[in-house]
Amino acid sequence: MTSDASRDPRRAGLSRRRFFGLAGAGTAGVLAAGAAGGVIGHATAADPTAAGTAAATDAVPFTGDHQAGIVTPAQDRLHFVAFDVITDSRDDLVEMLQAWTAAARRMTAGQDAGPVGAVDGGQYAPPDDTGEAIGLPASGLTLTIGFGPTLFTAADGTDRFGIAGRRPEPLAELPSFPGDALDPARSGGDLCVQACANDPQVAVHAVRNLSRLGAGVVSVRWSQLGFGRTSSTSSAQATPRNLFGFKDGTDNLKSENGSAVERFVWVADGDPGADWLAGGSYVVTRRIRMRIEPWDTSTLAEQEQTIGRTKGAGAPLGQQAEFDPVDFTVRAGTGPAIPENSHVFLAHPTNSGTAILRRGYSFVDGSDGLGRLDAGLFFIAYERNPETGFVQVQKNLRMDAMNEYIQHTSSAVFACPPGISGPDDWWGRALFS
């Protein structure tokens, strides 16, 4: 196959764009279409954590100490998918993870998942790529894998793949929280892949081709599309607005704050499971339905008191500008300017005692049959330990005034291994070796 590869540009790994010769003037529109996904400032090729200089069309490096898609400056579009593993064969699972890694390596570089035209001219075999991203550039695609608790020990207690003993203690089902309305069918999962890109077609293409490669080994459990990143993960990115109309993520952990990222995001030597998870992280996802209609009929004052910031500038209440420091001692009238049951008060590291790296997206999934938009925030948070990360923050939000306007409808947690170290590495190697 090596000699084939050197002759066949598809196998030699040229980009989708170059192979199909679509860079000519007549098709510039499609290229631009893929190019302009919505956000500047994702990683440069040289340094995936340095923001602000790369074009939205560029590739983000697939290899590194950490997986891309965590501190990588947030791209603007998401397709997140959770899989059930439907085989008991460890060999089949490992083989699929190796095939996924190879395809992810290609797709994040802007290539197809495999040759579109089969060697026999397509008479007897399906294409090795589904084709809808032909002509589109890499678009900042990152693919980030995670392993759920049920991969280690199935719901019925079975140790299907001989890795039950390697589950790190913090990788466990999350506790239930007051107000949860979780749909089991779109919660949990044995594996997850977070696909982020600046073009939704590129993200969707990646998830679809991984699903295709996993036929017979995995089955899609649930998937979620998102748009309009609701957090900045780099100080070079402007703060976006969520569907409450407020700036979101002003005080998020930023990739430039290396010491905080080390402390709160990456699993370190000595942590549980560090033999295979050091340099990795945990991801918690929560599909948070927003009660759009009651929110839209609440007064501006109530909205601002609920959040703890102004709607226009995004300034902390009692301050003038977005990045003015949050000061909980400032008074307004007879009480604190930032109410003690506001979201900012309760979620702020000062009061929650911890920090998480948020990386969520807005969603609108049509309507709910009762005349309401099925919309909200697909919350994604990375942390070194779910117990001292998301769970600790969420417990502190018990009295959050925002709870009146939201409902958590799905929940999942996964352990995300460290980055791919080189050409022979594959997703899960340290865990399965």
Per-residue three-class SS string for 5-23: HHHCHHHHCCCHHHHCCCC
Least separation in angstroms between residue 379's CB and its own copies is 16
Closer to its own copies by Cβ: residue 38 or 272: 38
Asked if residue 99 binds its own copies (CB under 8 A), the reply is no
Site for its own copies (CB under 8 A): which residue of 7, 124, 157, 178?
124
Site for its own copies (CB under 8 A): which residue of 49, 142, 187, 198?
198
Phi then psi for 245, rounded to 5 degrees?
Answer: 85, 5
Closer to its own copies by Cβ: residue 281 or 303: 303
**177: its two tokens:** 């929280």
Q: What angle do helix axes 90-108 and 200-213 make, rounded to 10 degrees?
A: 150
Provide the mask over 259-298, with x wherever binding to its own copies is found by CB under 8 A and - wherever it is not: ---------------------------------xx--xxx
Closer to its own copies by Cβ: residue 307 or 391: 307
Q: Is 151 helix (H, G, I), strand (E, B) or coil?
A: helix
Site for its own copies (CB under 8 A): which residue of 9, 11, 33, 324?
33
| Side chain identity at residue 164, one-letter code | A
Asked if residue 236 binds its own copies (CB under 8 A), the reply is yes
Asked if residue 154 binds its own copies (CB under 8 A), the reply is no
Asked if residue 366 binds its own copies (CB under 8 A), the reply is yes
Closer to its own copies by Cβ: residue 168 or 226: 226
Distance CA 48, CA 134 (A): 25
Note whether 317 and 398 are within 8 A (CB).
no
Asked if residue 221 binds its own copies (CB under 8 A), the reply is yes
Strands 191-197 and 281-290: unpaired
Residue 92 has, within 13 A of its CA and on its CB side, a CA count of 12
Site for its own copies (CB under 8 A): which residue of 23, 172, 238, 268?
238
Note whether 382 and 364 are within 8 A (CB).
no
Count residues near its own copies (CB under 8 A).
97
Plot region of 17 (φ>0 → left; ψ -120 to 50 → alpha; else → beta): alpha
Closer to its own copies by Cβ: residue 127 or 272: 127
355-371 residues labelled b (16+ CB within 10 A) or e (exposed): bbbbbbbbbeeeeeeee
Residues 368-397 that bind its own copies (CB under 8 A): 369, 371-373, 375
Site for its own copies (CB under 8 A): which residue of 9, 11, 20, 260?
20
Closer to its own copies by Cβ: residue 199 or 383: 199
Least separation in angstroms between residue 2's CB and its own copies is 24
DSSP assignments along 263-332, one per residue: HHTS--TTSTTHHHHTT-EEEEEEEEEE-HHHHHTS-HHHHHHHHTB-SSS-PBTTSSSTTSPP-TT-EE
Residues 125-144 that bind its own copies (CB under 8 A): 125-127, 129-135
Burial class (CB in 10 A: 0-12, 13-18, 19+), 158: exposed
Provide the mask over 324-363, with x wherever binding to its own copies is found by CB under 8 A and - wherever it is not: --------------------------------------x-
Contact region for its own copies (CB under 8 A) — 89-97, 117-125, 267-275, 276-284? 117-125
Asked if residue 23 binds its own copies (CB under 8 A), the reply is no
Closer to its own copies by Cβ: residue 35 or 102: 35
Residues 410-429 that bind its own copies (CB under 8 A): none
H or E stretch covering 92: helix 90-108
Least separation in angstroms between residue 181's CB and its own copies is 17
DSSP assignments along 218-247, one per residue: EEEEEEEEEEEESS-SSTTSPP-B-TTSSB
Residues 50-79 that bind its own copies (CB under 8 A): 52, 56, 76, 79
Least separation in angstroms between residue 274's CB and its own copies is 34
